[in-house]
Amino acid sequence: MDFSKPFFTWRGSCQNTPQIGFMKVVSNAKKPKLMFKEVFISHAKEDYIVAERIYGFLELNSYLPWLDKKKLRVGANWDYEIKKALKESTFVILLLSSTSVKKRGYIQKEFKYAVEYAENKLIDDIYIIPILIDKCEVPEQLNKFQWIEMNNHNILEKLLESLEFQRQKYLKELPSELIDINDYSTISIDLNLDVPIKVDYECSLPLFHKNKFFDADFVNTFIQQKVLDVISENRKWINEDVEYFKDNEFLYFEISFNIKNLDENNLSMSIIYNSFFGGAHPNTSIDTLNFGFKPDRKINFREIVDYKNLKDFLDKAIDIYGIEEQKESLKNYTKYINEENINFVFDKETIEIDFMNQIPRVILAIGNLEIPRTT
């Protein structure tokens, strides 16, 4: 693997071509420090570039990685700080290479400390995650831990999957009153295509845990049902035209989410679907879900905005708050929006109305209209 380049590319919702990056940020950037997110990255100094990229990936996915060059302050007792960080971490990533496994010194101490702390975990807990940078020999004391090779094409997804799997175990064991409202996990729903077609598939959805603010099962059911409906439709038409798809070498289907607002009163979020199953261009669509709590319920647009005629309201909002390109284009599509299919998210200050499902792909970049809540 060429470590001078990013690990992989991602597709933005409004782009026709791949863009370089680590991964889509799928979580609320304003979340507070959450539980079971600390990840210690153990590495030889020769492997720092790999450690730094994993550090960046974990940060983008709301984890709290610890890396000596990132965290140690000038003048700090580095031996004490490293031991403390390693002991307090929920997970330990061990970067194994031909250099690190044969190198004497502190790297071997970190390996031994990690194995020692693992003895306090349950036998089926995920704590130590060895990553093989090259074809090195795994130390005997680490043989019982399942490792993954760096050249695995979906290593970062596999890493995140393991972290989230263990976090779910920890969070389920806590009393609901200790779960912060923003402390959710992420899960994936399998595509399960029973046909001989290779699809590059990614799915990331929030999984809320029992808490004192709202019924997590109620919210999770709505979210997962939305996605299952879309997956079901894709399974159906792919299966009906399987011969066509066999001729396409690069097919992908990505499902991600973004949370606009989550507090003790409301959850407002979107689910984005990016796919390419042949044809002239990729497809992008969106679902939005809005909830009120106490009592737990879905919220429609009329509960957020007071209006008489939806089309008139949208036309006026575009005139007042839209940029020039939106004023020229979006009003041509307001006639296709009704109270059943309008996609919107909101927080205390703004409402975002998304025209993604009604407009042609060439103007997706201007398909999101933001208006103030006072409208």
Q: Which positions ≥6 away from 18 have C-beta within 8 Å?
A: 9, 10, 11
70-83 average pLDDT score = 84
Task: Report percent pLDDT > 90 for the chain.
Answer: 56
Q: Is the dihedral of CA 96, 4, 156, 233 positive or negative?
A: negative
- Strand 350-354 vs strand 368-372: parallel, antiparallel, or unpaired? antiparallel
> Could you give the CA distance from residue 368 to residue 343 in angstroms, rounded to a whole number?
10
Residues 300/234/184/13 CA torsion (nearest 10 deg): -80
Radius of gyration of the chain (CA): 23
pLDDT in tens, 180-214: 898 999 999 999 887 778 888 999 999 999 999 99
Phi then psi for 326, rounded to 5 degrees?
-70, -40
H-type helices in the chain, by residue range? 48-60, 68-71, 78-88, 106-118, 155-172, 216-240, 242-246, 301-304, 310-321, 324-329
CA atoms within 13 A on the CB side of 367: 23
> Could you give the CA distance from residue 314 to residue 375 in angstroms, rounded to a whole number?
11
The chain-wide mean pLDDT, for the chain, equals 86
pLDDT value for 279:
75
> Could you give the CA distance from residue 170 to residue 172 in angstroms, rounded to a whole number?
6
